[in-house]
Amino acid sequence: MITVLVAGVFTITTAGAQTLADGNSNSIKESVEEFKEINATSLPETIKQDVKNDFTKAEVQEVYVNDKMEYKIILRLEETEVPKIVFANAKRGLLNIE
């Protein structure tokens, strides 16, 4: 009886985790699809200046924009091979500076 109970709990937990994983992957997929790649020269001047001020040794690799005019900017930093992703909008500038 304990074996049946443990098996039942395991099945319910696994099914719940799969549903949660599916839900998260769909959300991520939808948010990624919202952004469309644009040329870096299309960034508003205020955002270009913010990037230049906050990341003096960074090079803009890619820029994406969504319908809300929010920008996803992929930077290459001199000191690391891992790209830095920042988000911005024209009203508030860079949004996730650490």
Annotated domain spans of the chain: 1-34, 35-98
Give the tens place of pLDDT for each residue, 75-96: 998 888 889 999 998 887 788 7
pLDDT attached to residue 1: 53
Question: pTM (2 decimals)?
Answer: 0.62
How big is the CA angle at 77 (ends 71 and 80), to the nearest 5 degrees? 130
Confidence of residue 9 (pLDDT cuts 50, 70, 90): very low
Mean pLDDT of the chain: 74
User: How much of the chain, in percent, has pLDDT values that exceed 90?
Assistant: 43
β-bridge mates for residue 73, sequence order: 63, 86
